[in-house]
Structure 1
Amino acid sequence: MPVPVPVLVQVQVQVRVRVRVRVRVRVRALALVLVLVLVLVLVLVLALVLVLVLVQALVLVLVLVQAQAQAQVPVRALEQAQQMVAPARPSRRRCRKRREPAQTAMC
């Protein structure tokens, strides 16, 4: 029995439409997955950068605290030495230029 032509055309159109819809759905799903992966990678990179910045700031603070702790002893010794040494007399040029009472007393 021969199959009528309009039925064949109708079946072919339906198959084509179904294939196109499936391809479009797959492309949309792949695009959505790709976008989600890119967003996830971006978030991970930003989190990594934030962690690195925080670690660097912590190391900098620790180094500064250690340097300050090491520098406190010489600063105290320098202050004591400055108190023990008499202040130096200014040069005569400075005494002539400045006519302040304190400077005149030192000259």
Structure 2
Amino acid sequence: MKLGYNTNGLACHRWQQALELLAETGYRAVALTLDHHLLDPYSTDLAHQLGEVRRTLDRLQLSVVVETGARFLLNPKVKHDPTLLSPTPEQRNLRVDFLIRSLDIAAEL
């Protein structure tokens, strides 16, 4: 078993600093919350970000999981919206698209 920590708990830190702090503290795993500032699935430079994060994880010897609980990534007005239970197919499809992109990111990491 590896102890890990979620990057949500270090939201006031740059992601690089957060990962370094976790590794220095003795954590061997991290849950990365995909959000505006870290591996945004809709970012135009996602491929570059993925490479940078992967290299940092490797250097720090951190295992990784992807967490999809970003509060306002899909809707800046309502946290965690839309959901798989949202009323319209368009809203639900946006969440499904986000989850598929998240799986792709996890596979890359």
TM-score normalised according to structure 2 size: 0.21
Answer with 1 or 2: which has the greater Rg.
1
Q: Which has the higher contact order (CA 8 A, sep 6+)?
A: 2
Going by fraction, where is helix more abundant, 1 or 2?
1
